[in-house]
Amino acid sequence: MPKFLDSLPMILSRSLDRVMPSYRRLFQANDLTDQQWRVLRALWEKQHLTSAQISQITLLPPPSLVGILDRLEKKNLIGRLRSTEDRRHIHIIPTQKGRALMEHMMPMVESIHDDFMQRVTAAEWDEFNRILNKLSEPTKKRNLA
């Protein structure tokens, strides 16, 4: 009984390792990293977001986000705009080039997603989400012995 390989972290990591290459080929073909795409994808839903909002949506930690935004900005895919109301906030806005890239990639990204969805029934997908949520929903901190 190799419990290690069946632990929750290893199961989730292994699945991620298996799922990501399908997406990554598309990202690389468009000169993007996984994380850079995540930021663009977040901006697809809403055109201007602050760094903190992007961090929350994409799950990218703020210190990582700084560099990711730097590189997206250098590629002229996004712009940074400091807010006038609250000068601590910086709005991230896709450029024309950024929007064009998003429009180009979105159908292919959705197609990959649909391919994965077709592997299971809608009921299975719901059940999967329900159980995974039970397994991983946030909780109080655990005491260490």
132 binds, among its own copies, DNA, none (CB under 5 to 8 A by kind): its own copies
* Near its own copies by CB under 8 A: residue from 10, 66, 81, 100: 10
Q: Which is nearer to DNA, 21 or 107 (CB)?
A: 21
> What is the crossing angle of helices 96-117 and 34-45, to 10°?
100
Q: Smallest distance from the beta carbon of 68 to its own copies, in angstroms?
A: 15
Residue 49 burial by Cβ neighbours in a 10 Å radius (0-12, 13-18, 19+) = buried
Q: Which of residues 56-75 bind its own copies (CB under 8 A)?
A: 57, 59
Q: Which is nearer to its own copies, 74 or 119 (CB)?
A: 119
Q: Smallest distance from the beta carbon of 104 to DNA, in angstroms?
A: 19
36 binds, among its own copies, DNA, none (CB under 5 to 8 A by kind): DNA
Provide the binding-site residues for its own copies, judged by CB under 8 A. 2-20, 22-23, 25-26, 29, 34, 41-42, 44-45, 57, 59, 108, 110, 112-113, 115-116, 119-120, 124-125, 127-129, 131-132, 134-138, 141-142, 144-145
